Structure 1
Amino acid sequence: MELMQPLDAAFLLAESREHPMHVGALMLFEPPADAGPEYVRGVYERMVADVNYHPTYLKRPVSPIGNVSTWAWAQDDEIDVEYHIRRVAMPSPGRIRELLSVVSRWHGTLLDRHRPLWEAHIIEGLADGRFAVYMKVHHALMDGVSALRHLERRMSTDPNADDCPAFWARRDAPARTAARKSPVSPLRAVLDGGAKVASGLAELVPDAVRIGQKAIGDKDLVLPGTAPKTMLNVPIGGARRFAAQSWEIKRINAVRDAAGVSVNDVVLAMCAGALRIYLAEHDGLPDRSLNAFVPISTRAADKDEALGNAVGVILCRLGTEIADPKERLAVISASMNSGKDLYRSVGPISGLAWTLAALSPMLAAPVPGALSIAPQSFNVIVSNVPGPRQPMYWNGAKLTGMYPVSVVAEGQALNITLTNNDENLDFGLIGCRRSVPHLQHILTHLETALQELEAAYA
């Protein structure tokens, strides 16, 4: 038995029927030139046969002390393969539109807590000859960064490689027959976890002073509870709508170089411009700037292979009340730099406390009446997850799209997540089907916002 980390347990605690807390990815693959009509069936059978599961994919949540709460992991010895790994065919005509519609429905359904918290769908029947893999894994098991990194490491840069494991399998690890660690008692797990927390408490007072000084003296630092309420910050239902599109990274890099900012700053400016247009279309653009929740990885370099959650948050001012794209980008860049400075100046316990403070309005939103009276910390989630920067292959099949499918929550009806994929940035937008009408229009507005930035820096 393994004690959950507090942030991991929070994702299970926050979950309900209307608020699934899993992350996912939709990967599109181009089969090898010599692939026959039974190729995808062979892909499915090869994946099912790979039973050398990574330990994370054998974990399920348990409540060691009655049903007080779920705060520990049990490790299963095996899984129901046909439940977790599914082969499906797209209905005719097999366009990407139908694929995104199906993924929207799958992403709105809960994972079974009596089993390890993941599913994979191997999808054939696309009109353009490609096949797809949609995977979802509970956020309690891994964050978006570790999830996409885990998937990437099951692929190869060699188009002729034929030794890539299934996406849920170990890579270059001992077989399942290797000796397991001795089980840890619930009491021992609690004591060990408590010791780790206690060792970091000494940093809280000096860090609190630093945060207070920065909050007073830094006008670019966005504080929790300072976001306006918008049409995106409303109660949500359980149904989802997913939209996806790719942009050439060389276009974003050209704006980055001309403006002297980061790629992520340009991406946030694209999102800010798109939301400004979208909200204005719906008579919902506030006079004050929207704030974005921008997750950052807090995982140490020597823990690069680790799964689980190691994430902090920067609250970024998007400048959506500003018409000029150059001025808006400058506001975004200054806000992000201020947030990064804050994290560099405090320890991990204080960083977690800041993250929980930023998240507190969202965590309180399910409480009846809280959403209408609690101040908002952010209006939208925008996450840029590192991905492969060169062509990737899975046993000869070329990865042509890697679209993140993330989380929305009560009071946070829209999430924009993107990742690198060779020469592109692949954007995945997920929203509440009821609360975010015509979500796919935001893709058009992202292109418009990028064109405005390109023109401003031409």
Structure 2
Amino acid sequence: MPPTDSMFLLGETREHPLHVGGLQLFELPEGAGPDHIIELHRDLLSHADIRPLFRRRPRSPLGTPGQWAWANDDNLDLEYHVRLSALPRPGRVRELLELVSRLHGSLLDRHRPLWECHLIEGLEDNRYAVYTKAHHALLDGVSALRLLEDTLSTDPADRGVRPPWSPRVRTDATAPPPHREPEPFAGLVSAANLARDLLGLGPAVLRYVNQAFQEQSATLPHETPKSILNVPITGARRFAAQGWPLTRIRAVGAAAGATVNDVMLAMCAGALRTYLLELGALPDKPLVAAVPISLREGDGVGGNAVGIILCTLATDLDDPAARLAAITASMQRGKDFYRGMTPLQVTALSAIPFTPLALSLLPGAAKITPPAFNLLISNVPGPAEPLYWNGARMTGVYPVSIPYEGQALNITVTSYAGTLEFGLTGCRRSVPRLQRLLTFLEDSLAAMEKTIL
């Protein structure tokens, strides 16, 4: 197992479950009978041909301090992993979110492959839901969303959709693999690139230090205020979710010269400002969000490099337009800072703000360690077209993420078929009345529409 995967197993405790999840809502297909969900569950259990990824369970070889290797589970109990649940009446979204909150707070069994799938019936408006979770050592949120997208179909008439753990039948299974000539001097080129990256890392760190201590930016780790979100957390979770039309968000962005991501961050900023004001806990300094970004070739760093931008949420500003402008400028400064760097340099510098987060895992450290940022806000692009599961249209897909010690709230959004879907995951004890944030998100967007459009 790669050390980066083992880290999530070693760092997990009862108070800090480290699995990611997803909640999908489906409309029952036309002609579905009263036993449709029971039949669907029975069909899911019939797919006993399991991908190798979903057979992996962790094991600790002798002489190692933790879970450092994967073992293959040849006796996987599919009925344990694929479960059927029913909501209590009246089967509102409120009851669904309460169930997901409880399911997301329980640890995965390390004696088994680290994933579960819950089929949930009894949802109002002729719908059902699917909640899935997988350990971060097995899958990250982006990989899980891509797997879901690859599993479902864009054709409502397609009845051959298989569950994510069951591999699709390959039509080219007997074809020989394509022959590729080895590239000459490939090893020397890789070594040279690594040396170049390491030599360039020193100047990049100096740039970071210069920005931190000379530019007096409000989006750097030493400027982040302590808030009620930056406290020790428990293992219990609360989850809230809702979607907003992308047309509304794009209209605000076009009028303000901002991206969809900027407007999404401004929605979160306005909602958090109102939420903290209501609790009498708004810091004088603006909150700071850690925002993962994908740095592609157009940004000069190539491929799939991922950076972390510390973005001001400008929660000290009352004016929605001024708040959005400050967020847009902050995100642009972050992108400019990374421009021209290699993936290794981007990864190394992005790790610097997470140092206080790592220290906060020590007992009691979260109370005295200053936060590098107040919360993580991620935006993961999702499917642009409606997707179907054997005729059932997916009407919503909401990410269920991980709060960390000293980071009691996580906001992750994904786009799907013309909507932007928000998933808010918080510590049940440390983030009171989490559902109120959904109302405040709508209020925040409406205020920007009134002020900017």
User: 1:220–1:335: 8 Å Cα contact kept in structure 2?
Assistant: no
CA offset at residue 214 of structure 1? 4.7
User: 1:292–1:382: 8 Å Cα contact kept in structure 2?
Assistant: yes
In 1, Cα distance between equivalents of 2:18 and 2:257: 36
The equivalent residue for 1:4 is 2
The equivalent residue for 1:341 is 336
Shift >6 Å, 4+ stretches: 174-178, 194-199, 298-301
The equivalent residue for 2:186 is none
User: 2:58–2:68: 8 Å Cα contact kept in structure 1?
Assistant: yes
User: 2:305–2:343: 8 Å Cα contact kept in structure 1?
Assistant: no
Q: What does the per-residue CA deviation read over 1:172-211, in whole Å, with 9 as the maximum and x for residues that have no partner?
A: 5489999xxxxxxxxxxxxxxx999889645432432443
CA pair 114-31 structure 1, distance change in 2 beyond 3 A: same
Find the partner of 1:154 among 123, 140, 151: 151
CA offset at residue 448 of structure 1? 0.6
CA offset at residue 244 of structure 1? 1.1
Q: Once the two structures are aligned, what percentage of the paired residues are identical?
A: 53
Matches within 5 A, 1:268-347: 268-297=265-294, 311-347=306-342
Question: Residue 339 of structure 2: SS of its match in structure 1?
Answer: helix
Given the two structures, how large is their TM-score scaled by the length of structure 1? 0.88
In 1, Cα distance between equivalents of 2:102 and 2:431: 15
The equivalent residue for 1:103 is 100
Question: Residue 453 of structure 1: SS of its match in structure 2?
Answer: helix
User: 1:226–1:375: 8 Å Cα contact kept in structure 2?
Assistant: no
CA pair 62-339 structure 1, distance change in 2 beyond 3 A: farther
User: 1:220–1:338: 8 Å Cα contact kept in structure 2?
Assistant: no
CA offset at residue 111 of structure 1? 0.8
Find the partner of 1:23 among 20, 25, 48: 20
In 1, Cα distance between equivalents of 2:219 and 2:207: 15
After superposition, the CA RMSD in angstroms is: 2.8
User: 1:210–1:345: 8 Å Cα contact kept in structure 2?
Assistant: no
CA pair 399-284 structure 1, distance change in 2 beyond 3 A: same
More moved, 357-366 vs 118-127: 357-366
Unmatched tracts of structure 1, length 5 or more: 179-193, 302-308
More moved, 108-117 vs 9-18: 9-18
CA offset at residue 165 of structure 1? 1.4
The equivalent residue for 2:45 is 48
Partner letter of residue 339 of structure 2? R
2:199 is aligned with 1:205 = no
The equivalent residue for 1:359 is 354
CA pair 225-136 structure 1, distance change in 2 beyond 3 A: farther
2:421 is aligned with 1:436 = no
More moved, 220-229 vs 444-453: 220-229
Q: What does the per-residue CA deviation read over 1:45-99, in whole Å, with 9 as the maximum and x for residues that have no partner?
A: 2222223333322222222243512233233335210111111112222121111
Given the two structures, how large is their TM-score scaled by the length of structure 2? 0.89
Question: Residue 137 of structure 1: SS of its match in structure 2?
Answer: strand
Q: What does the per-residue CA deviation read over 1:365-390, in whole Å, with 9 as the maximum and x for residues that have no partner?
A: 12133222222111122111111122
In 2, Cα distance between equivalents of 1:71 and 1:177: 35
In 2, Cα distance between equivalents of 1:9 and 1:355: 20
